[in-house]
């Protein structure tokens, strides 16, 4: 059984038997609702009823003993508690009696104090007076020391502590009792003067930190340790410790008295420079100088921004000069500075081949843009880097202006010093001085600062672009806004409004004698304004391209930085001005000038004249002598340069691509005209214009050698059939007259050169198109952040460029197909002489026929002349069709012969061998294919020497070597000494299965 409920009873140790007895008692006897029935039933059913009853009596006695012990154990405690209660009751009774007595004594004391109240009041008032006099004496002593303490704090740049002390001292002097103290008049005068001194000291600190020239502003990185100059990297800003966020008391608040502002500065999540700006504005507010400070800041914004820009340009110029001096020291004496002379951008210099031959590219290709002003030129790079440096500095300055502007607006409501706002110079406060908030801040606001910065930047851009706003005396900020919001479509073109420009590309300066189309900057133009001429000597409209990216990044950063209520200010102004300038002036100007260059390039006499001093071996590289026609080479260079502007202003890629397409379309028209001049009314061109001929030429296996040409895969048997079909078609045109052939070798060379040049231009166009598709590099990806809402993504080559590339390739293929047909027709023209003579020779000749000599000589000459202009695979294509046509013409010529003897057969075989040797001499030709075709001719004519029975045996073994018509033609010609039975045709027809 468990002891359970009996544990913890106070049973003495000497009566432990009670615990043992309790342990034997079932806990069921102590249940809350005791049920006796089971126990009665147990006793009645037990065999030893008396024993069970006795056991129950023993347990009952045990319980009684336990109860006695418990009662005995707690009896002493009950008695002690009763005694304590008695004592407490007695003490309460005594306390009540004491309180009654105390009340009586207090009543008596009250009566006694009441009788002496007047006397005590007089003593109390006298003590207060004495205390006040002592306090006034202490205050007078402290206030007299305040001016010196304020000056010390100012010297230690503890401006907030100085302002705190000044404000507290002023309030103290205004207290009643001190106003009449004559000794404090001098102190009041000193504090009044110190208020002005404090104001200007704080204002100077604020001005310095507004433009990042203060102790807690940023720092600029200098040039690299190795002395090299990286204009982009060296101008980047790195924050000092002032950029880090600290929870400690700022050093400029270390002497300040703890207050709410000090606590907020400790808790603020802001860099040190921002905390300092907030502290300075708080000082101005405590002095009641918010409006006055705003007015002075407004006066200084424009000249300070101008000085900042000028100093950046000067620093950039000095660094650039050092860099140029270092580079010049490494140059040879033959090098010439780009700023000294106008250098042609694209001049192919003399090259030396392996055999020492001196090469000179054909005429120079000149861009309408100076090298320094080209998309990748020094001037463009300098303009972009310079503006990027200036704008980066201005972004930091505007960030400070935004912070201070918002703080001044917040503090303006608590302005206590109602001073007259000074006049704002240059009309810069005309933006919103009429509004109450602007008046409260002295005209200074975020909108005002941004407008002035954009105005100065616009004037800087105008200086770089040589653009002059029409109203030079008009307010620059208003001018910026007006130009930004002007609708370019409705702008008058008579020059009565908007911008007038000092020059265009070809109007900028005088031309240099003997310098082609290059232009130089006029050195007589006076240099004023910001001094950009020291950095960008060649200023002009073309620099607008380099201006666009920095301006976009600048305005994008400003837009992200401006508070929401000023967000609209970042959408207009400078960026709109640049966009209008690009659309209305830059793009039309470059289109006109480049179009003129393209027209001159393709219309000059030398544009489509194959190079005279070409190398004997074709080169795939222009630098190594690839003879691209000068007109097409110039157009390619100009097209690439035009598309080079896309890298500077991707937002106008569509317009620039359209310009290039226009140039390439005009060039294609000129190429087509040149092609037609060579092939018009010629037999080869007429044949090529036929669909059946073009379709057969596409099926020829050699068609695969044409780049990007569609050629169906055919079997060898099908290829032979195509060759025979084409040669039959050509032979059906006999007799061929010389006037129907392109007899002028120069025209053939032109077609060869034109074909290769068209291929070159097509490859170039596709390469340019792929540049719009290929993923950018890491650096480009970083720069593409600035695209923002202007980003134009492309997932395929522009359709116009792809279509033009196909058109160029199609015309290039037409050129070589005409050449192939021309050589085949030329071969037929010579081979048709076979049908005009009898091959019954009297003696064995040693030389081939004259027409074969003429043909082979012409093949060798034309191959040599075309070698420098087309690839070997193209040469193989051009001359590869001769053997099949010559073989077929030779075999068909037998049908028109009346007689031939043994010596005649030898002469024809000699002709075949001579032609084979001439073709095999072409390096690119498939000699094995030529041999197979011309061996067939010799085999065919040698069958004339076989007796008839031997001929039957040959036919039986080579049933498909020749056609039935060709085998039967062997019987029709008269061969002296050969007997032909009357049933010869029938017997041959039986063998052939006819």
- Residue 798 CA neighbour count, 13 Å, CB half: 21
- Residue 767 CA neighbour count, 13 Å, CB half: 11
At residue 778, the pLDDT reads 40
How many CB atoms are closer than 10 A to CB 307?
13
pLDDT at 128 over 70: yes
At residue 388, the pLDDT reads 92
pLDDT tens, position by position, 438-490: 678 888 888 899 999 999 999 999 888 887 654 333 444 454 444 444 443 33
Tell me if 450 sits within 8 A of 569, measured CB to CB.
yes
**Out of 27-36, 184-193, 278-287, 589-598, least confident range:** 27-36
Mean pLDDT computed over 483-499: 38
Strand 237-238 and strand 351-352: the pairing is unpaired
Q: What is the mean pLDDT of the chain?
A: 77
CA distance 853 to 907: 13
Nearest CA to 655 out of 591, 596, 595, 592 is that of 591
Tell me if 828 sits within 8 A of 740, measured CB to CB.
no
**Out of 12-26, 865-879, 942-956, least confident range:** 12-26
| Choice between 42 and 572, residue whose per-residue pLDDT is larger | 42
Exposure class string for 18-46: b at 16+ Cβ within 10 A, else e = beebbeebeeeeeeeeeeeeeeeeebeee
> What secondary structure letter does DSSP report for 506?
G
| Choice between 132 and 390, residue whose per-residue pLDDT is larger | 390
At residue 330, the pLDDT reads 56
**Out of 34-48, 150-164, 597-611, 850-864, least confident range:** 34-48
Provide the phi-psi class of 426: left if phi over 0, else alpha when psi is between -120 and 50, else beta. left
CA distance 987 to 994: 10
Q: Structure pTM?
A: 0.69
- DSSP per position, 730-742: HHTTPSPPGGGS-
Find which of 191-195, 513-517, 521-525, 668-672 is predicted with most confidence, using mean pLDDT: 668-672
Mean pLDDT computed over 103-124: 75
pLDDT at 808 over 90: yes
According to DSSP H, which parts of 116-184 are helical?
A: 117-155, 159-173
At residue 398, the pLDDT reads 93
Mean pLDDT computed over 324-347: 43
Nearest CA to 218 out of 272, 269, 270 is that of 272
> What are the phi and psi torsion angles at 111 (to 5°)?
-65, -40
Mean pLDDT computed over 673-699: 90
At residue 239, the pLDDT reads 42
Alpha-carbon distances, residue 902 vs 289, 899, 977, 980, 983 (angstroms): 126, 10, 10, 16, 24
Tell me if 706 sits within 8 A of 816, measured CB to CB.
yes
Tell me if 574 sits within 8 A of 555, measured CB to CB.
yes
pLDDT tens, position by position, 223-236: 333 433 343 333 33
pLDDT tens, position by position, 187-204: 788 888 989 999 999 999
Is the previous residue joined to 288 through a cis bond, with omega within 30 degrees of 0? no
At residue 14, the pLDDT reads 67
CA distance 369 to 543: 11
pLDDT at 182 over 70: no
pLDDT at 243 over 70: no
Mean pLDDT computed over 10-38: 71
pLDDT at 160 over 70: yes
């Amino acid at each position: 059984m468990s002891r359970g409920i009996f544990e913890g009873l106070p049973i003495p140790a000497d009566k432990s038997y009670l615990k043992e007895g309790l342990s034997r008692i079932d806990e069921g006897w102590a249940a809350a609702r005791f049920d006796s029935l089971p126990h009665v039933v147990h006793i009645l059913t037990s065999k030893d009823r008396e024993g069970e009853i006795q056991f129950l009596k023993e347990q009952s006695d045990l319980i009684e003993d336990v109860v006695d012990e418990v009662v005995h154990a707690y009896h002493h405690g009950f008695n002690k508690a009763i005694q304590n209660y008695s004592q407490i009751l007695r003490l309460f009774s005594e306390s009540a009696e004491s309180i009654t007595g105390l009340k009586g004594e207090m009543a008596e004391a009250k009566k006694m104090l009441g009788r002496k109240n007047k006397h005590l009041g007089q003593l109390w008032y006298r003590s207060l007076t004495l205390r006040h006099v002592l306090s006034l004496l202490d205050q007078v002593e402290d206030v007299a020391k305040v001016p010196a303490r304020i000056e010390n704090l100012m010297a230690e740049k503890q401006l907030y502590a100085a302002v705190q002390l000044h404000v507290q001292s002023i309030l103290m002097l205004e207290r009643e009792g001190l106003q009449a103290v004559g000794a404090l008049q001098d102190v009041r005068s000193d504090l009044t003067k110190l208020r002005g001194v404090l104001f200007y000291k704080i204002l100077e600190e604020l001005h310095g930190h507004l433009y990042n020239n203060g102790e807690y502003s940023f720092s600029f990185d200098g040039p690299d340790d190795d002395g090299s100059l990286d204009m982009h990297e060296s101008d980047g800003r790195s924050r000092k410790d002032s950029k880090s966020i600290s929870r400690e008391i700022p050093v400029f608040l270390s002497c300040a008295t703890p207050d709410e502002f000090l606590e907020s500065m400790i808790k603020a999540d802001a860099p040190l420079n921002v905390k300092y700006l907030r502290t300075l504005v708080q000082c101005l507010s405590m002095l009641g100088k918010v409006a006055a400070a705003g007015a002075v800041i407004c006066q200084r914004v424009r000249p300070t921004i101008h000085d900042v820009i000028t100093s950046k340009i000067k620093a950039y110029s000095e660094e650039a000069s050092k860099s140029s001096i270092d580079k010049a020291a490494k140059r040879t004496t033959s090098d010439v500075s780009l700023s000294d002379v106008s250098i042609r951008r694209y001049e192919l210099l003399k090259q030396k081949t392996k055999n020492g031959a001196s090469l000179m590219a054909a005429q120079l290709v000149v861009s309408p843009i100076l090298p320094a002003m080209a998309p990748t030129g020094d001037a463009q790079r300098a303009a972009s880097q310079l503006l990027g440096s200036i704008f980066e500095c201005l972004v930091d300055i505007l960030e400070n202006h935004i912070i201070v502007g918002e703080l001044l607006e917040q503090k303006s409501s608590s302005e206590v010093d109602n001073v007259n706002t000074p006049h704002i110079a240059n009309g810069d406060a005309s933006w919103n001085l009429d509004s109450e908030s602007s008046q409260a801040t002295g005209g200074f606001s975020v909108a005002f600062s941004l407008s002035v910065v954009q105005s100065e930047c616009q004037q800087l851009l105008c200086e770089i672009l040589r653009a002059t706003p029409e109203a030079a005396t008009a307010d620059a900020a208003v001018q910026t806004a007006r130009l930004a919001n002007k609708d370019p479509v409705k702008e008058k073109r008579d020059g009565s409004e908007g911008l007038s420009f000092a020059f265009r590309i070809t109007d900028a300066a005088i031309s240099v004698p003997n310098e082609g189309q290059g232009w130089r900057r006029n050195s007589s133009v006076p240099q004023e304004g910001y001094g950009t001429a020291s950095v960008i000597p060649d200023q002009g409209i073309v620099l607008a391209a380099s201006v666009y990216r920095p301006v976009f990044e600048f305005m994008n950063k400003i837009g992200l930085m401006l508070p929401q209520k000023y967000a609209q200010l970042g959408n207009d102004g400078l960026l709109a001005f640049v966009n209008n300038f690009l659309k209305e002036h830059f793009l039309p100007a470059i289109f006109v000038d480049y179009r003129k260059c393209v027209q001159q390039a393709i219309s000059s006499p030398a544009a489509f004249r194959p190079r005279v001093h070409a190398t004997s071996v074709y080169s795939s590289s222009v630098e190594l002598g690839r003879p691209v026609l000068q007109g097409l080479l110039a157009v390619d260079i100009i097209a690439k340069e035009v598309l080079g502007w896309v890298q500077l202003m991707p937002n106008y890629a569509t317009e620039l691509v359209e310009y290039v397409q226009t140039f390439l379309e005009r060039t294609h028209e000129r190429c087509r005209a040149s092609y037609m001049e060579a092939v018009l009314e010629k037999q080869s061109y007429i044949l090529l214009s036929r669909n059946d001929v073009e379709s057969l030429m596409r099926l020829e296996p050699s068609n695969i050698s044409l780049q990007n040409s569609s050629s169906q895969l055919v079997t060898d048997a099908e290829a032979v059939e195509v060759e025979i079909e084409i040669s039959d078609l050509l032979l059906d045109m006999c007799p061929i007259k010389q006037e129907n052939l392109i007899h002028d070798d120069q025209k053939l060379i032109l077609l060869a050169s034109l074909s290769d040049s068209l291929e070159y231009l097509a490859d170039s166009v596709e390469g340019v198109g792929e540049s719009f598709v290929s993923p950018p590099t890491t650096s480009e990806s970083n720069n593409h952040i600035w695209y923002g809402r202007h980003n134009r993504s492309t997932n395929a080559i522009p359709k116009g460029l792809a279509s033009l590339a196909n058109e160029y390739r199609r015309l290039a293929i037409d050129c070589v197909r005409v050449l192939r047909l021309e050589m085949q027709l030329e071969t037929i023209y010579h081979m048709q002489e076979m049908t005009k003579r009898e091959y019954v020779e009297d003696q064995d000749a040693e030389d081939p026929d004259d027409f074969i000599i003429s043909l082979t000589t012409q093949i060798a000459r034309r191959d040599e002349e075309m070698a420098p202009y087309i690839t070997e695979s193209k040469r193989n294509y051009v001359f590869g069709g001769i053997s099949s046509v010559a073989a077929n013409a030779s075999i068909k010529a037998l049908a028109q012969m009346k007689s031939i003897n043994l010596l005649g057969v030898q002469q024809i075989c000699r002709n075949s061998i001579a032609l084979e040797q001439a073709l095999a001499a072409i390096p690119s030709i498939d000699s094995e294919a030529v041999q197979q075709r011309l061996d067939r001719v010799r085999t065919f004519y040698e069958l004339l020497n076989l007796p008839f029975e031997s001929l039957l045996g040959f036919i039986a073994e080579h049933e498909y070597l020749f056609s039935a018509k060709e085998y039967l033609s062997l019987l029709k010609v008269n061969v002296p000494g050969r007997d032909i039975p009357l049933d010869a045709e029938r017997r041959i027809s039986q063998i052939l299965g006819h």
